[in-house]
Amino acid sequence: MLARYGPIWLNTHFNHVQEITPEAAEACDRLLRSGVPVNNQSVLLRGINDTVETQTELCHGLLKIKVRPYYLFQCDEVQGTEHLRTPVEVGMKIIEGMRGHTSGLAIPTFVIDLPQGGGKVPLQPDYILAQSEGELVLRNYEGHIFNYRNPTKPVSFELPAEVLCPAVSATTSLPQENRVPIQVRRNHK
């Protein structure tokens, strides 16, 4: 029934794996079978879900019921909740501790929802150690350091129109003047 009113997307709010009860899993399954994608938004809470192990267990539990871990929110500054707030560095360490040790699908985006309508700001561990015009120095999840060549000039090539527009029959032979030039550019900071 819900599929005809789409697109509908639903974000659940599981903060701990113990909240993923059989009833909750069944409700998510019913939504999914109705064509509604289900994501999860958690809030980082001191003493509840503020370790790599707890977050990994939660995210694996979510994936088992086909719910995508979407956001891990830094706890907002709300009166009466200071005892539940963690330093931002705790969330960063959790994401860093999960990276490379579980599927990327199990890692939510850690965000701060800025006050006064400032929007969500994603925070990720810094894996870029140095950058020049032609090279990046990167750190992987294990702490190993790698040099990565950064292309500096855009590459130009042409693709046939049938590749760019699948509606054009693959058997159609297009003259050169009907081909579309493509420029691939890499943005670098």
| Per-residue pLDDT tens digits for 70-99 | 999 999 999 999 999 999 999 999 999 999
CA distance 180 to 16: 51
Q: Are residues 120 and 158 in the same domain?
A: no
Report if residue 140 sits inside a domain: no
Return the closest-CA partner of residue 67 out of 27, 45, 40, 102.
Answer: 40
Q: Are residues 115 and 163 in the same domain?
A: no
Report if residue 81 sits inside a domain: yes
Collapsing DSSP states into helix, strand and coil, what is residue 61?
Answer: helix
Report if residue 42 sits inside a domain: yes
Query: Which pLDDT does position 158 carry in this prediction?
Result: 72
Domain count, the chain: 2
Residue finishing a domain among 88, 109, 124:
124
Domain range spanning residue 83?
Answer: 2-124
Per the CB < 8 A criterion, the answer to whether 60 and 14 are in contact is: no
Structure-token pair, residue 105:
């699908």
> What distance, in Å, lies between the first and last C-alpha atoms of the chain?
47
Task: Return the DSSP state at 155.
Answer: E
Structure-token pair, residue 9:
């997307």
Q: Are residues 108 and 158 in the same domain?
A: no
Q: Are residues 30 and 102 in the same domain?
A: yes
Report if residue 85 sits inside a domain: yes
Residue 13: CB atoms within 10 A of its CB come to 10
Q: What are phi and psi of 119, to 5 degrees?
A: 90, 175
- Give the residues of the chain that fall short of pLDDT 70: 1-3, 155-157, 159-189
CATH number for the domain that contains residue 11: 3.20.20.70
